[in-house]
Amino acid sequence: KQEVTQIPAALSVPEGENLVLNCSFTDSAIYNLQWFRQDPGKGLTSLLLIQSSQREQTSGRLNASLDKSSGRSTLYIAASQPGDSATYLCAVQDNTNAGKSTFGDGTTLTVKP
Amino acid sequence: DAGITQSPRHKVTETGTPVTLRCHQTENHRYMYWYRQDPGHGLRLIHYSYGVKDTDKGEVSDGYSVSRSKTEDFLLTLESATSSQTSVYFCAIRPGLEGAPEQYFGPGTRLTVT
């Protein structure tokens, strides 16, 4: 059974800092890994998706990396802003036709002005 | 944004009553999923569908049933609601293997069972 762990559970940083969120998974037989953002009381917004054959993806100030062999992914946020405050979830999708996803519990990020 | 709607958005119901949540998509995607999210946790898969009338169980399917009679609609039913089913329910869609792999999520339904 796939298990996904996100560390730390919560993180508080001053505005402008660069930061890294971590995601680890136990079964390396994945199809892809997706990072989401969730604001309080809201739904999930997809940030980045990394296919199993890829090493990283970038979008603006966000960079996600994937090391499938070690079961790890990181989400790097450059020059953090108060608007980045949210919960960040990672999800790994299995490589069956069903494409079922297993989620971590998330990292809640607070960026202080 | 992907065309996914969920109804109702909020519902309060009593223990023992049946409840049906609806997920509607306008994208004609093959795969549809129901997840639940409890406070401080990620999402857990309840049931999923890979086509009309084709469904299967997820990680936490006990106490839930689903139906998909049309491509665009995926219904989640709590046959007899319990307090442990108080949660936020999210629907997600994904194209078939020939399409992009991302899952897109609906806005969620907040269900309270008293």
Alpha carbon distance A46, B70 (integer Å): 26
Residue B48 contacts A, CB cutoff 8 Å: yes
Whether residue B108 contacts residue B48, with contact meaning beta carbons closer than 8 Å, is answered with: no
Q: Is the pLDDT score of A23 beyond 60?
A: yes
Residue A58 Cα distances to A64, A77, A113, B2, angstroms = 6, 10, 25, 21
Per-residue pLDDT tens over the stretch A51-108: 999 999 999 999 999 999 999 999 999 999 999 999 999 999 988 877 889 999 999 9
* A33: pLDDT strictly greater than 90: yes
Mutate to test the interface with B, among A100, A102, A107, A108 (most CBs of B within 10 A): A100
- For residue B44, which residues of chain A lie inside 8 Å, CB to CB? 103
Q: How confident is the model at residue B87 (pLDDT cuts 50, 70, 90)?
A: very high
pLDDT of residue A98: 79
Chain segment B21-75, per-residue pLDDT in tens: 999 999 889 999 999 999 888 899 999 999 999 999 999 999 999 999 999 999 9
Q: Which of residues 9-38 of B touch A (CB under 8 A)?
A: 31, 33, 35
Check CB contact of A98 with chain B, cutoff 8 Å: yes
User: What pLDDT shows up at residue A97?
Assistant: 75
Q: Where are the beta strands (DSSP E) in A26-71?
A: 30-38, 44-51, 56-59, 62-67
Mean pLDDT score of chain A: 94
Count chain A–chain B contacts defined by CB atoms under 8 A: 60
What's the confidence (pLDDT) of residue A34? 95
Q: What is the predicted pLDDT for the residue at A96?
A: 81
| A residues 33-92 closer than 8 Å to B (CB) | 34, 36, 42-44, 46, 49, 51, 89, 91
Q: How confident is the model at residue B99 (pLDDT cuts 50, 70, 90)?
A: low
Q: What is the pLDDT of residue B100?
A: 66
User: Residue B1 pLDDT > 60, yes or no?
Assistant: no
Smallest CA–CA distance, residue B68 to chain A, in Å, is 15
The sign of the dihedral angle between the CA atoms of B21, B43, A54, A8 is positive
For B90, the closest of A43, A99, A102 (CB atoms) is A43
